[in-house]
Amino acid sequence: MHRIFQERPEILAPVFGVLGVPLSAKATVDVVTTDVTETRPLERRVDTVLRVGPSDGEDFLLAIESQSGKNEAKASSWAYYIAYLQSRFGLPVLLVVVCQDRATAKWAAGPFDCGTRGWTAQRTCPLVAGPNNLPVITDARTAAKNLALAVLSALAHARSPECDAILEAIGRALQELHETDPDTAGYFFEFLEINLGNTPAGEKWRRDMSFVSYFPGRGTVRETAYLEGKAEDRASMILRVLEKHGISVSEETRERITSCTDLDTLTLWFDRSLTATTAEDLFAEDPEVPGTSPEQA
């Protein structure tokens, strides 16, 4: 969930408004390394770190963590992140924790104290963005005006009854956006699919997806559709080459080529089609063809 802040920094102003922290609309935002590892072999990483340059005050660092449940170890981790970043960059640090359920959001607000015998040496007070304070956006026009906030709203309210209406509003907004900016529309469609996961909201969302993958290797619906489209294109090219060479193709062979979904196999067949004299030359030394049934192979 934190990644949206890295790639869509325009979401900061409205989210800060929800959190009650003033931020000028002309603020600059730059991604900062998330590595807070010490020289000893102990690796620590913040989900997202941004350097914010308000037009009306000093720069500060914004550390953003995505939290799916209570984790008592985070009390010390968050305190360490803040202290380390302040020491390394010499800037004040704010911590925002993004949650998807009310119980986690209530816990994450802290405060988390470090001290003993009635004395507090350090206190960590995260800002929390979650279903308790992020708006429920169910109007398509409102969603279109601030897609990043609408998407974050959908994630925060993924387990609430309002989520279906939020997703419908975002879907309508993205369908219109796809006509003029398919890349941005595709990004938000897939960002929601991955972060909604296997929840009922995620299942509903996956039924409506049809855009190119922005997160390769994640097995998303759009990625599958995209790869299937690539396979169809490659099969079509093979058949076209055979046709140009005057090679006859039986219905059985045509079905074998068009039903294959493995891109590596199709690439091999295409290479062979360039020098083939018969359609059967494509399948020479093919003990097993991925993406086809035993009957077709």
104 in the same domain as 46: yes
Tell me, yes or no, whether 121 lies in a domain: yes
Which sign, positive or negative, has the C-alpha torsion 186, 192, 198, 199? negative
* pLDDT reading at 291 higher than 50: no
pLDDT of residue 287: 47
Q: Given strand 60-67, what is the order of strands in its sheet?
A: 28-32, 48-53, 60-67, 93-99, 127-129
Cβ-in-10-Å burial (0-12, 13-18, 19+) of 153 comes to buried
Q: Are residues 203 and 243 in the same domain?
A: no
**Above 80 in pLDDT, residue 11?**
no
| 151 CA to centre of own chain | 11
Does pLDDT of 104 surpass 60?
Answer: yes
Is pTM beyond 0.85 here? no
What pLDDT is attached to residue 94?
Answer: 92
**Structural domain contains residue 288:** no
| Mean pLDDT computed over 114-122 | 84
Between residues 111 and 55, the one the model is more confident about: 111
**pLDDT of amino acid 208:** 66
Q: Which residue has the higher pLDDT, 215 or 268?
A: 268
DSSP output for 64-96: EEEESS--TTHHHHHHHHHHHHHHHH-S-EEEE
Q: Name the pLDDT band for 112 (thresholds 50, 70, 90).
A: very high
Residues 190 and 101 in one domain: no
Rounded distance between C-alpha atoms, residue 171 and residue 174, angstroms:
5
**pLDDT greater at residue 8 or residue 107:** 107
Q: Among the three residues 211, 245, 274, which one is the final residue of a domain in this structure? A: 211
pLDDT of residue 286: 52
Note the pLDDT of residue 292. 46
- pLDDT of 293 higher than 70: no
pLDDT at 107 over 90: yes
Residue numbers of the domain that contains 87: 3-129
| pLDDT band at residue 229 using 50, 70 and 90 as cut-offs | low
- Is residue 134 domain-resident? no
Per-residue pLDDT at 226: 60
Q: Is 57 in the same domain as 169?
A: no
- Same domain, residue pair 125 and 81: yes
Do residues 24 and 105 share a domain?
yes
pLDDT band at 124 (very low <50, low <70, confident <90, very high): very high
Residue 148 lies in a domain: yes
Residue 289 domain-assigned?
A: no
Please state the domain count of the chain: 3
pLDDT at 297: 42
- pLDDT by residue (tens digit) across 24-64? 767 777 777 666 555 454 456 777 888 888 877 789 998 98
Residue 268 lies in a domain: yes
Query: If pLDDT is split at 50, 70 and 90, which confidence band does 211 have?
Result: low
Task: Give the integer Cα–Cα distance in Å for 171 and 155.
Answer: 14
Which amino acid is it at 245? Answer: H
Residue 273 confidence (pLDDT) above 80: yes
Q: What is the pLDDT of residue 13?
A: 74
* Residue-wise DSSP of the chain: -THHHHH-GGGHHHHHHHHT----TT-EEEEE--B---SSS---B-SEEEEEE-TTS--EEEEEEEESS--TTHHHHHHHHHHHHHHHH-S-EEEEEEESSHHHHHHHT--EEEEETTEEEEEE--EEESTTTS-----HHHHHHTHHHHHHHHHHTTTSTTHHHHHHHHHHHHHHHHHH-HHHHHHHHHHHHHHHTTSHHHHHHHTT-----SSTTS--HHHHHHHHHHHHHHHHHHHHHHHHTT----HHHHHHHHH---HHHHHHHHHHHTT-SSGGGGGTT-S--TTS-TTT-
Same-domain status, 203 and 238:
no
pLDDT at 24: 73
Give the pLDDT of residue 127.
92
pLDDT value, residue 14: 78
Least confident of 73-82, 226-235, 245-254, 281-290: 281-290
- What integer best gives the mean pLDDT of the chain? 80
Pairing of strands 112-116, 93-99: unpaired
Nearest to 138 by CA among 101, 119, 163, 155: 163
The CATH number given to whatever domain includes residue 38 is: 3.40.1350
Q: What is the predicted pLDDT for the residue at 82? A: 93
> How confident is the model over 17-28, as a mean pLDDT?
75
